[in-house]
């Protein structure tokens, strides 16, 4: 600790930090704002287009498939895609404005992340039911070689779903830990309060 060199005043050092004095002109701002709006619009169109394409394809399968099992599975998948699209759109537009207090804004962003990470339970159950439903059919149709083509594909889908659930769970747990840390950050009070 002891040294002949004077100890630094951090505030002074910080406030004298070299900066480039960036000035963003009004034209640049307007260009950037337009770019931002364009990007938002593009994202929205891409999401909607995906949802529409997936539901059209699902609808086509529902109408034309010969097997009732496949029709029901397609209808459930179609519903899931549509609900997910609406939910994600709603979540991306939910959230506080940037001029709210920092704690409030940070909490709302974390809650948004948590909602994104959480996979609705009914969707997991529906996906597992579809997989369980498809397995016996696949076994019957592939009497000669039940472990041939269809069963591995179904099992692969199930494994993928489990991995997705694990990743989402891990993400949600991390976000929850951040929310709890924020709660303690906020709750701490001085004895004078």
Partner 1 sequence: VPNSGADRNDLYQEVTAAYGRAMERLARAYEADPDRRQDLLQEIHLEVWKSLEVYEARCALRTWVYRVAHNTAAKHVIRRCRTKPEVLVSLEEVSQLKHKQDEVAGGKEVVRQLMEVIHLLKPPDRQLMLLYLEGVDTESIAEIIGLSPGNVRTKIHRLKTILARQFHQGAIL
Which residue has tokens 């100890």?
7
Two tokens, residue 181: 């840390």
State the CB neighbour count (10 A cutoff) for residue 74: 20
**Using the rule CB under 8 A, which residue among 55, 62, 87, 106 binds partner 1?**
106
**Using the rule CB under 8 A, which residue among 3, 27, 121, 140 binds partner 1?**
3
**Using the rule CB under 8 A, which residue among 52, 86, 103, 125 binds partner 1?**
103
Q: Does 105 bind partner 1 (CB under 8 A)?
A: yes
Q: Does 27 bind partner 1 (CB under 8 A)?
A: no
For helices 26-64 and 68-93, the axis angle rounded to 10 degrees is: 160
Q: Does 104 bind partner 1 (CB under 8 A)?
A: yes
**Using the rule CB under 8 A, which residue among 27, 98, 140, 143 binds partner 1?**
98
Two tokens, residue 45: 């169109």
**Using the rule CB under 8 A, which residue among 66, 68, 97, 140 binds partner 1?**
97
Q: Does 63 bind partner 1 (CB under 8 A)?
A: no
Taking CB under 8 A as the criterion, which residues in 114-173 touch partner 1?
A: none
* Residues binding partner 1 (CB under 8 A): 1, 3, 5-11, 13-15, 17, 19-24, 26, 28-29, 32-33, 36, 96-106, 109-110, 113, 174, 178, 181-182, 185-186, 188-190, 192-193
């Amino acid at each position: 600790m002891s040294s002949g060199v004077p100890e630094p005043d951090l505030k002074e050092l910080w406030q004298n930090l070299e900066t480039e004095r960036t000035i963003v002109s009004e034209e640049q701002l307007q260009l950037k704002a337009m770019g931002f709006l364009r990007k938002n619009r593009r994202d929205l169109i891409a999401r909607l287009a995906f949802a529409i394409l997936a539901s059209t394809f699902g609808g086509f399968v529902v109408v034309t498939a010969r097997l009732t099992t496949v029709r029901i599975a397609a209808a459930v998948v179609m519903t899931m895609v549509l609900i997910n699209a609406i939910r994600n759109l709603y979540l991306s537009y939910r959230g506080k404005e940037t001029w709210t207090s920092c704690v409030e804004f940070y909490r709302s962003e974390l809650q948004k992340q948590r909602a994104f990470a959480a996979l609705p339970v009914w969707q997991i159950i529906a996906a597992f039911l579809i997989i369980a439903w498809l397995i016996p059919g696949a076994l019957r149709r592939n009497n000669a070689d039940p472990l041939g083509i269809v069963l591995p594909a179904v099992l692969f889908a199930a494994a993928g779903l489990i991995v997705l659930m694990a990743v989402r769970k891990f993400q949600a747990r991390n976000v929850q830990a951040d929310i709890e840390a924020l709660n303690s950050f906020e709750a701490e009070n001085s004895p004078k309060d």
